[in-house]
Structure 1
Amino acid sequence: MTKPAPPRLDPTRVPHLQGTFAPVTEEVDVAELEVTGDIPASLDGLYPRNGPNPRFSPIGSYLYPIDGDGMLHGVWLSEGRARYRNRFVRTPALEAEERVGRALWGGVESLIMPDEDEVGPELAGTFKDLPDINVVRHAGRTLALAESACPFRIDIRPGAGLGTLGREDFAGALPAGITAHPKIDPVSGEMVVFCYALEPPYLTWSVIDRDGAVTRGPTPVEGVDEPMMIHDMALTARYAVIVLAPAFFDLDALVTGGPLLAWRPERGTRVVLIPRDGGRPRWASDEAFWLWHTVNAYDDGPDEHSPVVLDYVQWSRLTVGASEDGAAPTLGGLVRARIDPAAGSMTRTVLDDARVEFPRVDDRRIGRRHRRTALATGTGRSDLLPGEYDAVRWYDTETGATTDWEAGNLSVGEPVFAPEPGSDAEERGYWLTFATDRTDGTSWFLVIPAEDPGAGPVARARIPVRVPLGLHGCWLPTGEG
């Protein structure tokens, strides 16, 4: 009996498969990039960035930013020179699709999975690995991270250049994996992670020490009794901070052709403060809001009763892919929440109401007070897609002042901080990002000075292929981590 063809998906009708988001399939290596300006000699390391990039035309459905094979784009900097390489994260499913030259798995909303005749018994009936969201380094491991699953380990040694080493389950201690936004404590060296699931326990958290050993295995968070999507977390010296917005997985609706995620604002948004010493979690709640990304958090006092300050980018509700009702979510901008662990209450203050996303701070400030936040922002153009930005903004938490660099025809990605070696100052270093020209598809690697970011890049390296707008990256100095 012939297996029926999967439902057709017209990529031209999916905005996030077009323009600056359109996937690329060629893997290239360039030993020396053409540079305009001067790359600071103090920058010595690798800037990798991950993002959704379907290897073959998707079938069934495509839901940005969840679907899509992972592709890493890496720029190596040394002695004022830059080289580039891009590579797919080579999962077993991707390799199976390459053997037949087409997509075998559908998007997450389509429930299309190949059978044993197509992929063998080990992959038949399984979900596809999608390590396409973030990349981090911890305890000597460089990891390409998925939304909530096992990451894949990446080889960044000289000559290996972004090769995939395989699935990472931390010696079997975290078999369900982790989410895409773990947080690394710059003082203790611990990486605190969480994972959400479709079956109980719906939310767990774990700790990996500075040497890579799992010192706290998956620990259920009590009070979470339904499957929920939770994209990011924050960390303080005392707590893991997780925001539970009312975005619930609705598997019954999915089976009957409905959306995977249901937004239920009547349930409100809750925040759980999980003591890192294993103590009783503290809860607070407020009216419904959604966040994709936290900025940072810190304890605003010396003891367990002290408030927790959380900065994040706020949205009125969750949307993924194309909005079902055509209405865009309302942006709350850059917001500061002050959470009282004793009273179980929180207050929110809008710091900056601009259209912003992809917030980053100097990673050495994670869990402690920070002064500067960098964000992708918009200049008001009406032709940009959701998730597309044409400027970078810096917010000063001490003065409330903002500084913008407008990128013109360039669509910019997430800014990542590379500190000046030997300096602890947040204004001593450089902000790194990819950018793509909307008029001709050319892509650039930008180096923006933290001391005067409004002046724009001091160096631009021409990337030989278009770099699709993607998600998250990091700075990996040579000889560290």
Structure 2
Amino acid sequence: MTAPAAFDPTRIAHLTGRFAPVTEEVDAVDLEVTGELPDDLDGVYLRNGPNPRFTPIGSYLYPLDGDGMIHGVWLSAGRARYRNRFVRTPAMIAEENAGRALWGGLESMILPGVDEVGDVLANTFKPLPDINVVQHGGRLLALAESDCPFRMSPELDTLGKETFDGRLPAGITAHPKIDPVTGEMVVFCYGLEPPYLTWSVIGPDGAVRRGPTSVDGVGEPQMIHDMALTRRYVVLVLAPAFFDIEAAVSGGSFVAWRPERGTRIALIPRDGGPVRWADDEAFWLWHTVNAYDDPDDGRVVLDYVQWPALSLGPGSPEGRSRQSGHHGLTRAVVDLAAGTVQRTRLDDARVELPRIDDRALTTPHQRLAVAADSGRIDGLLPGEYDALRWYDVRANGSAARVWNAGDLSVGEPVFAPVPGTRGSERGYWLTFATDRTDNTSWLLLLPAEDPAQGPVARVRIPVRVPLGLHGTWLPTEE
């Protein structure tokens, strides 16, 4: 085993306070509710996020490092229950048997040997299905960054690594997109060896309809976190974030930012046609909002949160961007004929974790929600937000509505539609929140008709939910 580098986890801000991991797995029923839970919501809200089972060794890079933990709140008939469970990969089980961390963080390259974990796991990288959770084709999946997801039971027990009957052995993205019309789930996967970038299609039945298909024009390994989907295209934004394994081995960053290379947008026809490329100045995005085909001129419209660069520094891939890097809600219009991109800033507010009503994916969306940094609070870490914002993008993003969360730090807002209201925007925005004064955590429900009024219900979670990443609402029935 490689000797651990000098590393003090107590100095990593994203291992403390509201980000600190929890190790207890809890079941609770009849949760305390402030306000009144809507009778017309019946389902479960799930959220995944980094949650190291043991004190990290070597390095820790939020939010990519850390074991997955899924938090679930089931709502039915005006009542709520809670359960949280680790995503138990074979590596985590080996660490539980040892009683300590055996794998180092991504930047440390610490891998256990045969004497510690046996032949199968020795000198392998640790799976990190800690970013997202989705359901598709009868499978509930905890998702990693371009790796195999892990399948979970409805009650959040880990069932094992998911390779889709062996058709996708290298894995998929942490941010697949499900077409609400066809029911297909479109995914991508990047790798350190050729082919560096592939895309695939999984049918609504969970069967792979298109196996890994190479994206022509990609000659080096690049990091891509999210994607978008239109009726005609898979949309991938290739920022100049290149993997540099030699630098990582010698103690440097494993991702190099090379702005002189610019950012390229790949439009991949879903029918398998040749890739169309558009070039732009360098920028980075963690998350897309949505994309769609412009019905008037055939161009592609992409909404996303733009960052000036990828900064993978100690503690957070957002680096020190809250203080120094400007980012905001942006619209890019891609002209396929000219191969150009025209970008428009929709809002200068510091925002992230954008979501829409998922039933509007691939089509022109009207409203979107984001977590926001209001600028009122000193001491918020990168990835921590104290407000929610909603935009009517048909009004060019100018109609922002804001709910300031006061003493609460809030996460990604997820839309839960009222059953039987397809085509309308009736429903609720759900998010976990943690009180900065006492570290209590809550599930908030805000009405979509007027979210700026604040929550109509707050569900008290019996344990603190670490500030984390992405979630989903799964209705019991449509």
Q: When the two structures are superposed, what TM-score results if normalisation uses the length of structure 1?
A: 0.96
Matched position secondary structure for 1:68: coil
Amino acid at match of 1:391: A
User: Does the alignment pair 1:384 with 2:371?
Assistant: no
Q: Distance in 1 between matches of 2:410 and 2:175?
A: 21
Structure 2 counterpart of 1:69:
67
Q: Distance in 2 between matches of 1:384 and 1:4?
A: 35
Structure 2 counterpart of 1:230:
224
Deviation at 1:427, TM superposition (A): 3.0
Structure 2 counterpart of 1:171:
165
Q: Distance in 2 between matches of 1:408 and 1:425?
A: 33
Deviation at 1:331, TM superposition (A): 2.5
Q: Distance in 2 between matches of 1:329 and 1:172?
A: 45
The aligned runs of 1:16-55 (5 Å cut-off) are: 16-55=14-53
Structure 2 counterpart of 1:97:
95
Amino acid at match of 2:257: W
Q: Distance in 1 between matches of 2:386 and 2:81?
A: 25
User: Does the alignment pair 1:358 with 2:353?
Assistant: yes
Q: When the two structures are superposed, what TM-score results if normalisation uses the length of structure 2?
A: 0.97
Q: Distance in 2 between matches of 1:84 and 1:255?
A: 42
Matched position secondary structure for 1:149: coil
1:308-347 Cα shifts (integer Å, max 9, x gaps) = 0000000000123437996755233100000011111110
Matched position secondary structure for 2:119: coil
Deviation at 1:5, TM superposition (A): 5.0
Matched position secondary structure for 2:110: coil
Amino acid at match of 1:342: A
**Residues 121/46 of structure 1: CA separation in 2 closer, same or farther (3 Å cut):** same
Which of residues 311, 315, 328 in structure 1 aligns to 2:307? 315
User: Does the alignment pair 1:424 with 2:422?
Assistant: yes
Structure 1 counterpart of 2:278:
284
1:242-272 Cα shifts (integer Å, max 9, x gaps) = 0000011111101111011111000000000
Q: Distance in 1 between matches of 2:181 and 2:425?
A: 20
1:177-228 Cα shifts (integer Å, max 9, x gaps) = 0010000000000000000001111000000111111111000001111111
Which of residues 257, 260, 279 in structure 1 aligns to 2:254? 260
Deviation at 1:19, TM superposition (A): 1.2
Q: Distance in 1 between matches of 2:119 and 2:445?
A: 48
User: Does the alignment pair 1:335 with 2:327?
Assistant: no
Deviation at 1:426, TM superposition (A): 4.8
Give the root-mean-square deviation of aligned CA atoms. 1.4
Structure 2 counterpart of 1:192:
186
Matched position secondary structure for 2:120: coil
Deviation at 1:4, TM superposition (A): 7.0
Q: Distance in 2 between matches of 1:23 and 1:4?
A: 26
**Residues 314/329 of structure 1: CA separation in 2 closer, same or farther (3 Å cut):** farther
Deviation at 1:12, TM superposition (A): 1.7
Amino acid at match of 1:271: I
User: Does the CA-based 8 Å contact 1:37-1:458 persist in structure 2?
Assistant: yes
User: Does the CA-based 8 Å contact 1:45-1:78 persist in structure 2?
Assistant: yes
Which of residues 390, 395, 398 in structure 2 aligns to 1:394? 390
Which of residues 227, 240, 257 in structure 2 aligns to 1:246? 240
Which of residues 130, 138, 151 in structure 2 aligns to 1:132? 130
1:267-317 Cα shifts (integer Å, max 9, x gaps) = 000000000000011000110000000000000026xx7100000000000
User: Does the CA-based 8 Å contact 1:372-1:426 persist in structure 2?
Assistant: no
Which of residues 261, 275, 287 in structure 2 aligns to 1:293? 287
User: Does the CA-based 8 Å contact 2:446-2:457 persist in structure 1?
Assistant: yes
Structure 2 counterpart of 1:436:
434
Q: Distance in 2 between matches of 1:402 and 1:389?
A: 16
Q: Distance in 1 between matches of 2:7 and 2:152?
A: 31
Which of residues 204, 210, 213 in structure 2 aligns to 1:210? 204
Structure 1 counterpart of 2:365:
370
Deviation at 1:31, TM superposition (A): 1.4
**Residues 5/420 of structure 1: CA separation in 2 closer, same or farther (3 Å cut):** same
Structure 2 unaligned blocks of 5 or more = none
User: Does the CA-based 8 Å contact 2:55-2:101 persist in structure 1?
Assistant: yes
Deviation at 1:378, TM superposition (A): 1.4
Which of residues 332, 339, 348 in structure 1 aligns to 2:343? 348
Deviation at 1:11, TM superposition (A): 1.7
Residues paired across the two proteins, number = 472
Matched position secondary structure for 1:120: helix
Amino acid at match of 2:129: P
User: Does the CA-based 8 Å contact 1:317-1:329 persist in structure 2?
Assistant: no
Matched position secondary structure for 1:474: strand
Structure 1 unaligned blocks of 5 or more = none
**Residues 4/257 of structure 1: CA separation in 2 closer, same or farther (3 Å cut):** closer
1:340-387 Cα shifts (integer Å, max 9, x gaps) = 111111100001110100000000000001100100001102310011
Amino acid at match of 2:205: D
The aligned runs of 1:149-168 (5 Å cut-off) are: 149-156=147-154, 161-168=155-162
Runs of 4+ with >4 A deviation: 323-329
Which of residues 442, 448, 473 in structure 1 aligns to 2:471? 473
Q: Distance in 2 between matches of 1:65 and 1:321?
A: 11
Which of residues 449, 452, 474 in structure 1 aligns to 2:450? 452
